[in-house]
Structure 1
C-alpha cells in the first residue's frame, strides 16, 4: 500500500494553543478519577463504593445534553472580547479551579456525599472545557491531514498533564496530606487562565480587555454558584431516591444505570427508518436541541449502528486501567511516592511518545489499519498489569508496566480522536463530537463503575485479562465500518 502524501505542516502557534488547552483539560481528570480512587482507598472506603465513584466519569457521556448551549450562547464579558469558544474555555477553567479547591478542603472524606458533589462539579467543568476546545479544533482543522498534528499536540498536553497531576498530587499528598495535594494541582490548572486572558482578542471582539475580564468574572461567579446549587439539589434527589428503593454499596446498580444511559441512543437507533426519510426542513433536523444528533443518523443511516458499536468498546482498556490500576498498585504494596514517581518520570515521556506516533500514523496511513494497531496496543497495555500483579514489588516492575500502559493508550487515543473527528459534520462540531466521544466512554465507564464488584469475583488478574480482551474485540467491527462514508448533504 503506497504511503499517502505528507500532511501539511500546521502553524506552530495553533499547535502551541492546543498543547495548552490539552494541558488545561488533562490536569483535573486524574483528580476526580484515579487519584480520587486512591484517596478513598487510603481512607478505608470499600472497593464497591470506589467503583460507584468511578461513575462520576460517566458525566462526559451526557455532555451532548449541554453541548448545544455552547454553540448557541456566549459567556457574558469573556465572549465579547475573546470570542465564543475562548469565553467558554475561560469560564470552565474558573469552574475547575473552584471545584478542585473545594475537593482540597474536604479531603478528609468525612462525608462521601460532599466528596461526590465536588467531584461531579469538577467533572462537569472539565468536560465543558473539552467540548469548547474540541469544537474549536474541528473548525480550525477539518481534514485528516490537519487533524493529526493538532490531535497529537492536544493529547500531548492532555496526557502529560494527567500523569503530571497524578504524580505531583500523590507525592505532595504523601508529604503534606491530601489537601495540599489537591491545592497544588488546582493552582497549576489555573495557570493557563491568565495566558488566555493575555492573548489577542477575537477578530470580532469589541470593547476593552479589562472591562470584558471584570464582566466575565462577575458572570462566572453567578454561573458557578448557580451550577453548584443545581448539582447539589439533583444529587440530593438522586441519593434520596436510591435510598428509598434500597440501593446501597451492596447493590448491583449497573444494569439500572446502563438502561438509563442508553435511552437516548437507543431511541435514535429505533427511529432510524423515520430519520432517513426526513426532509431538510423537518423540525427534528433543524432543532438546536436534537438536530445535531439526528444528523448523525441521517448521514450514516444503518451504518451508524456498527460505527457506534465500535466506538463503544474501543477505549475500554484505557478507561478500565484508570479505574483500578492505582488500587491494584496500592494492593501490591507500592507507596504513594513510588506510584507518583512512576506517573511523573516514566508515564509522561512514554505517553508523549505514544501520542506523537499515534498522531503521525493517523495522519499518514489508512485509518482503519491504524485503528487495529491502536486496539492491539490497548490490549497489551492492560495485560501488563497482570504481569505486575504477580511480581514482587520493585521500582523496575512498576516503571515497565507504567511505561507500556501509557505508551499504548497514548497511541490508541490519538488515532481514535482523529477517527471521531472525521465522523463529525463541520456544521455541528461541538455537539456531534460531544455525542460521539460521550458514547465512546459510556460502556467502558459503566464497566469501570462495577469494577470493584468484578474484581471481587475474578481478582485483579482476571479483571485486567478481561479488560484487555474487550479492547482487542473492537477489531471485529472494522470490516463493517472501514469504508463507511456519510450520505451527501441535501441539495
Structure 2
C-alpha cells in the first residue's frame, strides 16, 4: 500500500478555480463546504431519530428510518453524471463543480423546510419522503466537494490540511445542528427546530455564490444565472416526483412481503450485506483480464468502478472488507445514541448542550489529531489507532447507560465519542483519497466512501431490532467490537499497490 498512500502515482492537478491558488483560500473553502454538508446530515439521521422517539414511534420503525442513510452509500449511481455533466446555466456561471454544489444547497434548503412543515410526523411516509430528499441533496453536495478536493490536493501532504478543514466544518455543523435543533425543539417545537437549521443551511449559499471561476461578460452572466435558477426549479421538482414514486413502490413492496414494526429484519440485512462481496468475487476474474479497450473500462457510467477492481485485482476484496468495517462504530452510534439517551431519561436541552459545547471542541481536536497522524505516521498505523479510538467511543455509551442521569456523565460520553470518531474520520478520508485514480475523482471516491457505509448503514436500519433483543448496552458493545475488527484486515492490505496500465 505504500505506493498508494504516498501519492507518488497521482499527477499534480492545477487549481480549477481562480482565487484558490493559495493553501489558505482552499482551507477556508473546505471549512465552508464541510459546514454546508454537515449541517443537514444530523437532521435526517440523529435528530430525526430523536424526533421520532419523542413522538412515540416504535423503536423498530426508528431503526428502519436509519436506512435513509443508505442513500449516501448509493451515490456511485449518480456520481459519474456529476463528473460528466454540468448543471444548465450554473455550470457556465459558477463552473461544473461549484454549479452542482449550488444546486445541492437549494435542494437542501427546500427539503429541510418541507421537513419543518411535516414535523408532527402524522404521516411517516411523508416524513420519510422529505428525509430521503434531504439525504439525496446532501450527498450530491458531498460528491462534488470531494471530487474538487481530490483535484486540488493530490498528495497526502496536501490532502491532510483540506481533510482537516472539511471535517472541522462538517463536524462543527453537525454539532451546531444537533445541539441547536434539540434546544429549539425543547423550548419551541420541532418545526421551528428545522426552520432554524434550514436558515443556517442557506447561509453559506451567498458566500459560495461570490465564487465565479468562469469569467464572462455581464449579459452572459445574467443569462447563465437565470438559466441555472430555472433549471434548478425543474430539477428539484423532478427529484420530488421521482422520490415519491420510488417511495410508493418500496412501501407497497414492503407491505406485500409483510415488513412491519414487528418484523425481525436482522437476518435479511445480514444476507444483503454479503451480496456485494459475492457479486464482486464472481466478477473479478473477468474484470482482471479486461484489456484497455474493453467497453467496461471505457464506459462513462461503469468504467470508473471497473477501474478500481482492475487496478487492485483480487486484493480489492480484503481492501473493501476493511473499508466496510472501519466506520462501523461511528454509524451505529449515530443510529441509536439519541434513543438511548432519551431512554436513559435525559432531557433535550441537556442533550443539546452536550452536542454543542462539549462535542464541538472534542470533535475538532480529534479531527486535528487524525490529520496529523495521517501525515506523520504510516497510514496503516494511523488507521489502527483510529479503529481503537472508535471502539472506545462506542463502549462509553455502555457506561452511560448504567449511570444515573447526570450532565457530567453525558458530557464525558459525548466528549470521548466525538473525539474518537473525529480522529478516525480524518485518517479514513485521507486513506480513501489516496486509493482514487485521479482520472475519476468524483465517481471513485463516491464509490469507495459509499461502500464504506453500506454494511454499517444496513445494520443501523436493523439496530432497533438488535437493541430490542440484546439491549442498548449489548448493542453498543457489539458496535464497538465490529469497528475494532477492522484492525484484523490491516496486515492483508498493508502492501496493496495498484496495477499500472502496460505502456
TM-score by length of 1: 0.96
* Structure 1: distance between partners of 2:104 and 2:175: 21
After superposition, where does 1:86-485 map in structure 2 within 5 Å? 86-202=98-214, 208-256=220-268, 263=275, 266-485=278-497
1:487 is matched with: 499
Name structure 2 gaps, 5 residues minimum: 7-20
Match 1:71 to one of 74, 83, 86: 83
Render the CA deviation track for 1:202-243: whole Å, top value 9, x for unaligned: 369996443332221111010000010011001001111111
1:273 Cα shift? Answer: 1.1
Change (3 A) 1:260 1:473: closer
1:263 Cα shift? Answer: 4.9
Change (3 A) 1:205 1:197: farther
1:256 Cα shift? Answer: 4.0
1:276 Cα shift? Answer: 1.0
Render the CA deviation track for 1:45-101: whole Å, top value 9, x for unaligned: 010000000000011111000101101111011110211000000000100000000
CA contact (8 A) 2:305 2:447 kept: yes
Change (3 A) 1:194 1:210: farther
Cα RMSD of the aligned pairs, angstroms, is: 1.8
1:330 Cα shift? Answer: 0.5
1:60 is matched with: 72
Change (3 A) 1:228 1:411: same
CA contact (8 A) 2:269 2:459 kept: no
Render the CA deviation track for 1:277-321: whole Å, top value 9, x for unaligned: 111100000001110110001000011000000000100000011
* Structure 2: distance between partners of 1:83 and 1:337: 42
TM-score by length of 2: 0.94
Name structure 1 gaps, 5 residues minimum: none
1:198 Cα shift? Answer: 1.2
Render the CA deviation track for 1:122-148: whole Å, top value 9, x for unaligned: 000000000000001011111111111
Change (3 A) 1:260 1:379: closer
1:490 Cα shift? Answer: 3.6
* Structure 2: distance between partners of 1:75 and 1:413: 30
CA contact (8 A) 2:277 2:317 kept: no
CA contact (8 A) 1:254 1:446 kept: no
* Structure 1: distance between partners of 2:376 and 2:24: 19
* Structure 1: distance between partners of 2:257 and 2:170: 40
